[in-house]
Amino acid sequence: MSFETTRVTARYRQNLRSNLGGRLIGAVLFLCAFVTVVTTVGIVVILFIEGLSFFAEVSPIEFFTGTKWTPLFTSKGFGVLPLISGTVLIGLGAACVALPLGTLTAIYLSEYATPRIRSVMKPLVEVLSGIPTVVYGYFALTFISPFIKEYLYPEAGPYMAISAIVVVGIMIVPIVASISDDALRAVPRELREAAYGVGASKLEVNTRVVFPAALSGVIASYILAISRAIGETMAVTVAAGARPNLTANPFEAVQTMTAYIVSVSLGDTPHGTIEFKTIFAVGLTLFFMTLVMNIISSRITKRFREVYD
Amino acid sequence: MLGLRLAMVDAVGEGIMDKEENRSLEVPEVAISTNGAEELEDRTETVAINIDALSLWYTGVQAIENVSLQIPENQVTALIGPSGCGKSTLLRCINRMNDLIPGVTLDGHIKIHGESIYEKDVDPVAVRRNVGMVFQKPNPFPKSIYENVAFGARINGYKGNMDELVRASLEQAALWDEVSDKLSESGLTLSGGQQQRLCIARAIAVKPEVILMDEPCSALDPIATQRIEDLIRELRSTYTIVIVTHNMQQAARVSDKTAFMLAGEERVGRLVEFSPTQELFTNPSDSRTEDYITGRFG
């Protein structure tokens, strides 16, 4: 009996030692995760401090309702609306290109393509996201814009929003296609069989069972893609120009919020001045825009998602 | 009556007998339904599904060879046999579910009420509307209970009163009383046994002539299993039911006729024996059937 007890105790000691290693690993992993949290918190804190010091000098009412954005001119205008409109125009426009195209690509890849076609096509689609964005920008500037000017809208200048919309849209197709494809393929075979079993056609199985079940993943891909479109800077600057412009006309030049931030932070604007602080105010605004978008989309997902497990 | 059932069970094996006896005593319907089976035997059977010389290959590897079966209308036909004997594959031929697997080729004919379902101009979707299926694992859609039942009817363009159809289907599946006050809740909130009855209601709502069941109780506990078995016996009067089961006692309890399949060394499934269930379990004509039902292998 006592022998039995000794043996068990020894076994527990061994476990205790290996548990120490497990806790060490846990701590290291926690530190890694903590780095990202600290970074996020740091960014938010800096944005708030600098942004608030901007709003100490410029009234938020002027900032959010003004239609003239000329902080670098002698007659200063601090209305952020032209930048927001440029951002929203590019973001929504790119979404209009990428969401249908990406979703249909995903449905094709997951439900219709043979394994062989899929094994070739999916990497090809994903390669699109590996092309440097500046290449997209010059593709837009030297190919799409002249094409549009020549055949569709001769009055346009060399820079136009539509051309940025098209390339940014293409740029984010792989995000939608790849993540949605994974979400669609994760829907269990049993659900598809259940639908086929009551006499559903392939189209009905896909639209009424598979797609709703995969919706949370699909929406997640939309959010990522739109966030990427809103945050995209280089291609947009090259293709759409750098003129803050309150317009909904995609054939005009516009400037987005990120493009403005880059142009100021790379220019010769002295640090600490009101001109320089504008970039934090713009950044803060952008931060809230994406935050609100994320909240709304998670609400939508919760509302329509069909949880299958 | 009870004596007959016990004799039948005796052949199945000593170990099962006690359990079986208790069950028979507790559930009087068993005796009643067995009675019904005898009446049916006296009648001339109508063949609902005629499987004629069916062979099947998965990308060139043969899985079933030359199976012929005449499945009678409004009866329960059980397909039994050890794993890999092709019984599930055979079942899935009856509603052309195997069409969904790439690389399946098939030889032979299946006729349902005289109509060949493997002709070139036959739409497998139309076949599946007439031949419902219940799967091994309960697989309700991640939709409300109501929508689960209405789904098939909706996509088939049902024009009548949907509320009534949903209610009637759930009642027929013996689930209505448990879910009538929560039709808008997700089908996945139900227990496993309830989910399986929901799947049966979903199949019924399309008004098929035939219902295929692929080991419908293998994921369920004994009480849920018993409820499904009671339900199968009730549904028999309206539908032709073909059930694949691993569980020989289940085949003995619910079916009128039983087909025993077996795959040899080369793993090609063949039909060994097809007889009225009582006969197959009490007096099998093939020695391999006897070996299987007495538990000598499988």
A191·B95 Cβ contact <8 A: no
- Closest CA of chain B from A227, distance in Å: 29
| Angle value at C-alpha B31, between B28 and B36, nearest 5 degrees | 130
- Contacts for B282 with CB less than 8 Å, ≥ 6 apart: B7, B8, B11
| Token pair recorded at residue B214 | 């692929």
**CB-closest option in B140, B143, B152 to A199:** B152
Share of chain B above pLDDT 70, in %: 85
In a domain, B298, yes or no: no
Enumerate the β-bridge partners of residue B261. B271
- Residue A141 DSSP symbol: I
A308·B100 Cβ contact <8 A: no
Q: Which of B128, B195, B211 to mutate to test the interface with A (most CBs of A within 10 A)?
A: B128
The answer on pLDDT for B5 being more than 90 is no
Number of domain units in chain B: 1
B141 at interface of A, judged by CB pairs closer than 8 A:
yes
- Closest CA of chain A from B192, distance in Å: 13
Spatial contact of A250 and A162, defined as CB atoms under 8 Å apart: yes
Residues of B in contact with A193 (CB under 8 A): 97, 100, 133, 135, 139
Give the pLDDT confidence score for residue A8 in this predicted structure. 60
A274 at interface of B, judged by CB pairs closer than 8 A:
no
B140 at interface of A, judged by CB pairs closer than 8 A:
yes
Q: Give me the mean pLDDT over the B196-221 stretch.
A: 94
Q: Which of A198, A201, A204, A308 to mutate to test the interface with B (most CBs of B within 10 A)?
A: A198
> Which residues 30-59 of A have a C-beta within 8 angstroms of B?
none
* Among B24, B80, B15, residue whose Cα is nearest residue B218: B80
B142·A191 Cβ contact <8 A: yes
* A59: three-class secondary structure by DSSP: coil
Which residue ranges in chain A fall short of pLDDT 50?
1
Residues of B in contact with A212 (CB under 8 A): 142-143
Give the pLDDT confidence score for residue A183 in this predicted structure. 93
Residues of B in contact with A190 (CB under 8 A): 135, 137, 139
Please tell me the distance from the alpha carbon of residue B62 to that of residue B117, in angstroms, as a whole number.
21
Q: Which of B92, B94, B125, B135 to mutate to test the interface with A (most CBs of A within 10 A)?
A: B125
| Backbone torsion region of residue B252, taken as left when φ is above 0, otherwise alpha when ψ lies between -120 and 50, otherwise beta | alpha
Residues of B in contact with A308 (CB under 8 A): 142, 188
* Among B287, B248, B281, residue whose Cα is nearest residue B82: B248
B100·A193 Cβ contact <8 A: yes
Domain coordinates in residue numbering, chain A: 2-57, 81-304
Higher-confidence residue of B297 and B201: namely B201
- Contacts for B57 with CB less than 8 Å, ≥ 6 apart: B63, B104, B105, B106
Q: Is A127 exposed, middle or buried (0-12, 13-18, 19+ CB in 10 A)?
A: exposed
CATH 1.10.3720.10 at A81-304, yes or no = yes
> Which residues 162-221 of B have a C-beta within 8 angstroms of A?
186, 188, 199, 202-203, 205-206
User: Which domain, by its residues, includes B119?
Assistant: 2-293
Question: Are β-strands B76-80 and B61-72 bridged in parallel, bridged antiparallel, or unpaired?
Answer: unpaired
B139·A199 Cβ contact <8 A: no
* A147: three-class secondary structure by DSSP: helix
A195·B186 Cβ contact <8 A: no
Please tell me the distance from the alpha carbon of residue B121 to that of residue B128, in angstroms, as a whole number.
15
- Closest CA of chain A from B186, distance in Å: 9
In a domain, B8, yes or no: yes
A308·B152 Cβ contact <8 A: no
The answer on pLDDT for B233 being more than 60 is yes
B133·A197 Cβ contact <8 A: yes
* Among B204, B70, B72, B203, residue whose Cα is nearest residue B139: B203
* Among A217, A195, A187, A189, residue whose Cα is nearest residue A103: A217
Distance (Å) of CA B249 to CA B13, B163, B245, B277, B294 = 10, 37, 9, 11, 11
Please tell me the distance from the alpha carbon of residue B60 to that of residue A204, in angstroms, as a whole number.
31
Q: Which residue shows structure tokens 């219709």?
A: A112
B155 at interface of A, judged by CB pairs closer than 8 A:
yes
- Closest CA of chain A from B168, distance in Å: 17
- Residue B86 DSSP symbol: S
Distance (Å) of CA B199 to CA A67, B168, B204, B210 = 59, 14, 9, 15
Give the pLDDT confidence score for residue A130 in this predicted structure. 87
Spatial contact of B165 and B220, defined as CB atoms under 8 Å apart: no
pTM for the full model? 0.79
In a domain, B25, yes or no: yes
Give the pLDDT confidence score for residue A17 in this predicted structure. 62
The answer on pLDDT for B236 being more than 60 is yes
In the A/B pair of chains, how many CB contacts fall below 8 A?
75
Give the pLDDT confidence score for residue B191 in this predicted structure. 94
Q: What is the pLDDT of residues B109-159, one digit of tens each?
A: 999 999 999 998 999 999 999 999 999 999 999 999 999 999 999 998 888
Give the pLDDT confidence score for residue A234 in this predicted structure. 87
pLDDT band at B167 (very low <50, low <70, confident <90, very high): very high
Q: Tell me, what amino acid is at A219?
A: I
Q: Give me the mean pLDDT over the B213-220 stretch.
A: 92
Give the pLDDT confidence score for residue A154 in this predicted structure. 84
The answer on pLDDT for B38 being more than 60 is no
Q: Tell me, what amino acid is at A35?
A: V
- Closest CA of chain A from B276, distance in Å: 28
Q: What is the DSSP string of B195-226?
A: HHHHHHHHHHHT--SEEEEESTTTTS-HHHHH
Residues of A in contact with B206 (CB under 8 A): 198-199
Please tell me the distance from the alpha carbon of residue A193 to that of residue B203, in angstroms, as a whole number.
12
Residues of A in contact with B141 (CB under 8 A): 191, 194-195, 209, 306
Residues of A in contact with B211 (CB under 8 A): none
Residues of B in contact with A196 (CB under 8 A): 97, 100, 125, 128
A287 at interface of B, judged by CB pairs closer than 8 A:
no
Please tell me the distance from the alpha carbon of residue A120 to that of residue A208, in angstroms, as a whole number.
28
Q: Which of B88, B143, B184 to mutate to test the interface with A (most CBs of A within 10 A)?
A: B143
Q: Give me the mean pLDDT over the B196-209 stretch.
A: 94
Distance (Å) of CA A98 to CA A103, A110, A147, A173 = 8, 17, 21, 5
Give the pLDDT confidence score for residue B72 in this predicted structure. 95
| Token pair recorded at residue A270 | 């002295």
The answer on pLDDT for B42 being more than 50 is no
Among chain B residues, CA nearest to A214: B142
The answer on pLDDT for B33 being more than 50 is no
| Token pair recorded at residue B120 | 């070139």
Q: Give me the mean pLDDT over the B157-169 stretch.
A: 93
